Amino acid sequence: MSDLEASLLAHLNSGGDVPDSRSYASSLGVTHKELEDVIKSLAAFRIVESKDITKETWVLTDEAKGYLASGSPEAQLLAAIPPEGASKDVLKEKLGSILDIGMKTAAKNKWIGFEKGNKDLVLRKVDTIKDELQEQLKRLESGEVLSDKVIDDLKRRKLIMKEKTSCYALKKGPQFVAKRKKLATDVTQEHLRSGDWKDLEFKDYNFGAQGQPISVGYVQPLLEVREEIQNIFLQMGFTEMPTNNYVESSFWNFDALYQPQQHPARDSHDTFFLQAPATTKQLIEAYLEKVKEVHQCGGYGSKGYGYDWKRDEAEKNLLRTHTTAVSARMLYKLAQEKPFAPKRYYSIDRVFRNEAVDRTHLAEFHQIEGLICDYGLTLGDLIGVLEDFFSRLGMSKLRFKPAYNPYTEPSMEIFSYHEGLKKWVEVGNSGMFRPEMLLPMGLPEGVNVIAWGLSLERPTMILYGIDNIRDLFGPKVDFNLIKSNPLCRLGLQ
């Protein structure tokens, strides 16, 4: 039992009480923190009862602490004036910024004066003075209550400020004892050998005690949200597309999607082209001819783009700019399977765009894509499946804005009203794949494909409250944020 505990218990045992633990601590010459630890432990065993008190007390400003230490400005001024007086410059030299206030108060107190005709020479008019101010600051510092007039004066001179201090009022608790028996927490060999185990008192087990925080690994937020979104797709009957090829040919990334070869996205400002292997030799001849055909002169009711389509442009290898390239591969494969069977596919994987890095954009992000391929699908079906998908993400209020993609017509940007952010957020893009894309693949007439896409980073940033995408990756990921951020169950805005 610490001496501090002993003296507190003795004080209470002798009928004393502790109305204010702060002044009790300073009366014992210990810090309030030390006393607080003892109070907490005694209160835990209800040996003492402590009531939290928040008091507003006047505390000295730093300026006042200076005066407490070395005297009030007026007192310091007087101390600096030799019997023969001193010039203001000399005094300024000695007292610096407090000269003026010192002069003003000293003059007011008639402690100083000036020689006739020489306003610069400051003369003492008294030998000794009582430094009222320093006295008042001392008394205040020792916790004494000063008169309102003095308090107002100190307040006016900005020497004191109100400070909320919390302390405790203590009195005997229901389990009060004058001397606390050290409760044993274990039976040790020593106890057994010494036999004093017989009259040992054991500490109750605190079954409510928190276990040691176990440092475990955490799922990267992106992968956490990826899993959530994957579950939504699986629940909606979608199958994952194989996306294990970051390197793609321009053919599947652009041409197969009916994206013309002179489209701005196809130049290196937007796309990472490969130096080695710079080109692919694995394109499917028959299909390639059909794609060339539809680009050059259309067909299937389309007039095409009417430009001279170049094979070597389509053979250029790149880092895929969207997982829609994978959708094209899967739809082509599906078209080869006779008879046609409707399909629901999704993909969630990295795509690469040569974009300026900023708070929400990196040169790569994870694209989420969903598509449904079936006879007679309409824009209404697309809107319906988007309502269903985003409602499972907790986004019920959607709005659609007409948009343009080279590979879908009609196309729509998707907006959702975000209750937390109190604004409409763009949550994705969507559309119906063009016949110029689908029919050259060999998909039957009447089969339509509705599709949509969004990023994984944006929802993860919003759900984890991360405002800079760079904090999502690499060494700057703040583990505390992940630890402390309960898995934000999608759907629970």
User: Which residues here bind ligand FB9, judged by CB under 6 A?
Assistant: 324, 367, 369, 395, 405, 408, 418, 425-431, 451-455, 458-459, 462-463
Smaller CB separation from ligand FB9, 171 or 350 = 350
Helix or strand or coil: residue 158? coil
Closest CA to 333 of 379, 367, 373, 298: 373
Give the integer Cα–Cα distance in Å for 95 and 71.
Answer: 12
CB 385 within 8 A of CB 400: no
Determine the Cα angle at 131 with ends 126 and 135, to 5°: 160
**Max Cα distance, the chain (Å):** 119
**Smallest distance from the beta carbon of 426 to ligand FB9, in angstroms?**
4
- Using the minimum distance from each CB to ligand FB9, give the nearer residue, 160 or 462: 462
Quick one: tokens of 206? 């605190």
Q: Closest separation between CB of residue 51 and ligand FB9, Å?
A: 46
- Which C-beta is closer to ligand FB9: that of 77 or that of 451? 451
- Closest CB to ligand FB9 among residues 314, 427: 427
- Asked if residues 425 and 415 have their Cβ atoms less than 8 Å apart, the reply is yes
Residue 23 CA to residue 167 CA, distance in Å, equals 9
| Least separation in angstroms between CB 405 and ligand FB9 | 5
**In terms of CB distance, is 50 or 455 closer to ligand FB9?**
455
Q: What is the closest distance, in whole angstroms, from the C-beta atom of residue 402 to ligand FB9 in the complex?
A: 13
Find the shortest distance in angstroms from Cβ 481 to ligand FB9. 16
Whole-angstrom distance, CA of residue 488 vs CA of residue 493: 8
* Residue at shortest CB range from ligand FB9: 453
Q: By C-beta, is 397 or 483 nearer to ligand FB9?
A: 397
CA dihedral 443→445→450→453, nearest 10 degrees, is: 40
Q: State which residue, 35 or 326, has the beta carbon closest to ligand FB9.
A: 326
CB of 39 or CB of 437, closer to ligand FB9 = 437
- The secondary structure of 364-410 as a DSSP string is EEEEEEEEEEEET--HHHHHHHHHHHHHTTT---EEEEEEEETTEEE
Least distance in angstroms from the C-beta of 418 to ligand FB9? 6
- CB of residue 250 to ligand FB9, shortest distance in Å: 18
Identify which of residues 45 and 246 has a Cβ nearer to ligand FB9 in the complex.
246
Complete DSSP assignment for 286-351: HHHHHHHHHHHH-BTTB----S---HHHHHBEEE-S-THHHHHHHHHHHHHSSSP--EEEEEEEEE
CB of 315 to ligand FB9, least distance (A): 24
Q: Quick one: DSSP state of residue 125? A: S
In angstroms, what is the minimal distance from the CB of 493 to ligand FB9? 8
* Alpha helices, H only, 142-284: 148-156, 189-194, 221-235, 250-253
Tokens of 308: 């001279």
Helices and strands in the chain: count of H runs, count of E runs? 19, 14
